[in-house]
Amino acid sequence: MHRNLGTRLTLSFLVAIVATAGLVVLLANFITTNRFTYMATFAGQRTARRLAPFFAQYYARTGGWDGVEALMQDDRLPPAPAHPLPGEGGWRMPGRLEADDERLLLLEPGGQIIADSAPEAAPVRLPSASTDRGASILVDGQHVGTLIAVSGLGLLSDFQSAILRQVNGLMLAAAVLAALAVLVISALQTRRIVAPVHALAAAARRVAGGDLSQRVPVTSQDELGEMAAAFNSMAADLERQHELRHRAMADIAHELRTPLSVLQIDLESIEDGLTQPSPEVVAGLQASVAHLHHLIEDLRVLSLADAGELQMEAEPVELNRLVQDIVERVQGMARARDITLRAQLPGTPLTVIGDDQRLAQVLLNLLSNALQHTPPDGQITVSARQAGEGEVHVRVQDTGEGIPARDLPHIFERFYRPRPFSPGDADRPGDTDRPDADRPDRARSRGTGGSGLGLSITRSLIEAHGGRIWAESVEGEGAAFTFALPQSPPVAQGPGVESP
């Protein structure tokens, strides 16, 4: 039969409670009986020792044990006038405990029972060496008998047994009440544990059904709360990734449609004879094909990076030399745009473990982005330095238009292009009431340049090297992109380099 988690927990608690309570009752019964019997034995032996001198006096006065049994039985009644004895004005046994508290046995020196204070009761079977548990009766130094209290033999009286049964009954009742109380508490606790699990299971089923907006309340700070928080974080990530994939598919379709439309129109015009296949037209077609090829390659690199399958050849890379090489490669494009490009590098080598081709691609992406957004007579500076222990920072800073503050957190998202900065924006940097204040540039205008994947690829490549990248910007004053890489031991020595 199928049992849910709550039933299993309740049954587990119940079994544990019953087993524990039973063990406690058994141990308590054993210890109580043992201690109670020990105290009763001690009390019986003490009673026998206390009464032994009076029996000795009786023997001395009567010269024997005649009439002692009747005297012992009468003495178990409440105090009464003294019993007359031959030649005496009277004799009475001293008062002991209550009438039914103790049963006395009088033994002759040979060990046979002479008198019993309760002859109507069941016969007592004396254990071996029972005389050692009684009080010896001495008259003029002669052993004339032994007085034994039955409880001194470890045999409880009816009264003592009743007391012991009451104690054991109370312990059993307390164990049952404790078990019931713990069972109620465990049922409440089980419900408290199972309720979040049921809520989590229901939310998980709805997420599996496609509803990624599901969240479960975090009602505690324990492991259940951590589980609920982890589920909420997972659901939020899934929802975000689903939105990003949906948006990426729409963006990819848009990016592919534009050059394909241009190609289709131009080819149809040529086919219909409306346009001659002049060098200019062929160059335009080649540009559209090149854009498609570049876009597809960027998408391939991103997909490999997302899958963790991006092939890289890790080896020591000296960043000073790499930065200098890339700056020299881009120097011609910078001069053509009247932009000053320079490198500021330290005098000591900065060595990292990585793929020099991928790191060169990172620098080229950042420099291409800087060149695109830096006006003529602007300046781009590439610098590298050791930041703290075991980390190298490379920074590409420009004096261009900058990145709006609202766009800065999203700058590394795929197909994200910041809305172009206008001079009027500088007067109201915190204005978020405009209709387009929080909307990225989704027009995909070729004027903004690129496919919107360069920075996403850059971040993926840096993270594949175990590093991190971030952007800083002041609108209207420029932007700076910095990436950090783990440093490895140096492989070469060389002076610092600064190119004009």
What is the spatial distance between Cα 436 and Cα 153, in angstroms, rounded to a whole number?
Answer: 102
Residues 363, 486: one domain? yes
Please report the pLDDT score of residue 77 as a whole number.
37
Q: Is the dihedral of CA 295, 445, 396, 457 positive or negative?
A: negative
What is the spatial distance between Cα 111 and Cα 366, in angstroms, rounded to a whole number?
Answer: 114
State the DSSP code for 479.
E
Q: Look at residue 250 and tell me whether its pLDDT is greater than 70.
A: yes
Please report the pLDDT score of residue 209 as a whole number.
85
The answer to whether 341 and 334 are in contact (CB under 8 A) is yes
Question: If you count them, how many residues does the chain have?
Answer: 500
Q: Is 0.85 surpassed by the pTM of this model?
A: no
Strands 379-386, 340-344: pairing is parallel
Q: Which of 203-207, 235-239, 248-252 has the lowest mean pLDDT?
A: 248-252
Is residue 459 one of the residues assigned to a domain?
yes
pLDDT confidence band for 489 (50 / 70 / 90): low
Query: Which of these, 108, 111, 145, lies nearest to 126 by C-alpha position?
Result: 111
Q: Which tokens in the block code for residue 164?
A: 């012991």
Please report the pLDDT score of residue 491 as a whole number.
44
Residues 328, 364: one domain? yes
The residues facing 460 across adjacent strands are: none
pLDDT of 414-440, one tens digit each? 776 555 544 444 444 444 333 344 444
What is the spatial distance between Cα 469 and Cα 395, in angstroms, rounded to a whole number?
Answer: 10
- DSSP annotation string for 377-419: T-EEEEEEEE-STTEEEEEEEE-SS---TTTGGGTTSTT-BPP
Domain count, the chain: 3
Query: Which of these, 141, 158, 171, 57, lies nearest to 99 by C-alpha position?
Result: 158
What is the spatial distance between Cα 488 and Cα 391, in angstroms, rounded to a whole number?
Answer: 9
Task: Provide mean pLDDT across the span 138-167.
Answer: 82
Q: Which tokens in the block code for residue 331?
A: 């120097």
Residues 321, 297: one domain? no
What is the spatial distance between Cα 198 and Cα 171, in angstroms, rounded to a whole number?
Answer: 39
Residues 461, 369: one domain? yes
pLDDT confidence band for 178 (50 / 70 / 90): confident
Is residue 197 one of the residues assigned to a domain?
no
Strands 498-499, 340-344: pairing is antiparallel
Is residue 175 one of the residues assigned to a domain?
no
Please report the pLDDT score of residue 393 as a whole number.
93
pLDDT of 16-56, one tens digit each? 878 887 888 888 888 888 888 888 888 888 888 888 888 88
The answer to whether 65 and 139 are in contact (CB under 8 A) is no
440: domain CATH number is 3.30.565.10
Residue 340: burial class (beta carbons within 10 Å; 0-12, 13-18, 19+): middle
What is the spatial distance between Cα 457 and Cα 413, in angstroms, rounded to a whole number?
Answer: 10
Task: Provide mean pLDDT across the span 198-223.
Answer: 84
Is residue 195 one of the residues assigned to a domain?
no
Q: Which residue has the higher pLDDT, 322 or 476?
A: 322
Residues 416, 381: one domain? yes
Please report the pLDDT score of residue 405 as a whole number.
87
Is residue 406 one of the residues assigned to a domain?
yes
pLDDT confidence band for 180 (50 / 70 / 90): confident
pLDDT confidence band for 130 (50 / 70 / 90): low
Q: Which tokens in the block code for residue 286?
A: 């080649």
- DSSP annotation string for 40-56: HHHHHHHHHHHHHHHHH
The answer to whether 153 and 130 are in contact (CB under 8 A) is yes
Is residue 229 one of the residues assigned to a domain?
yes
What is the spatial distance between Cα 127 and Cα 158, in angstroms, rounded to a whole number?
Answer: 20
Average pLDDT score over the chain: 78
The answer to whether 486 and 351 are in contact (CB under 8 A) is no
Q: Among 159, 188, 212, which residue terminates a domain?
A: 159
Is residue 417 one of the residues assigned to a domain?
yes
Residues 293, 348: one domain? no
* H/E segment holding residue 107: strand 104-107
pLDDT of 360-402, one tens digit each? 989 998 999 899 999 999 999 999 998 877 889 999 999 988 8
Residues 232, 365: one domain? no
- DSSP annotation string for 316-353: EEEHHHHHHHHHHHHHHHHHHTT-EEEEE--SS--EEE
* H/E segment holding residue 280: helix 279-306
Query: Which of these, 33, 35, 23, 158, lies nearest to 101 by C-alpha position?
Result: 158
Task: Provide mean pLDDT across the span 325-346.
Answer: 92
- How many beta carbons lie within 10 A of that of residue 273, not counting itself? 7
At 215, the amino acid letter reads: R
The radius of gyration of the chain from alpha carbons, rounded to an integer in Å, stands at 51
pLDDT of 60-114, one tens digit each? 888 888 888 877 776 443 333 344 444 444 445 554 433 346 788 888 888 888 8
Residues 257, 326: one domain? no
Is residue 200 one of the residues assigned to a domain?
no
254: domain CATH number is 1.10.287.130
**Chain mean position to CA 270:** 68
* H/E segment holding residue 470: strand 468-474
Q: Among 109, 135, 159, which residue terminates a domain?
A: 159
Residues 301, 321: one domain? no
Q: What percent of the chain has pLDDT over 90?
A: 15
Residues 344, 273: one domain? no
Q: Among 277, 306, 335, which residue terminates a domain?
A: 306
Residues 67, 122: one domain? yes
Q: Which residue has the higher pLDDT, 204 or 294?
A: 204
User: How far, CA to CA in Å, does 341 sit from each of 361, 365, 378, 380, 386?
Assistant: 18, 15, 9, 5, 22
Task: Provide mean pLDDT across the span 401-407.
Answer: 87
Residues 299, 334: one domain? no
Full domain range(s) for residue 257: 223-306
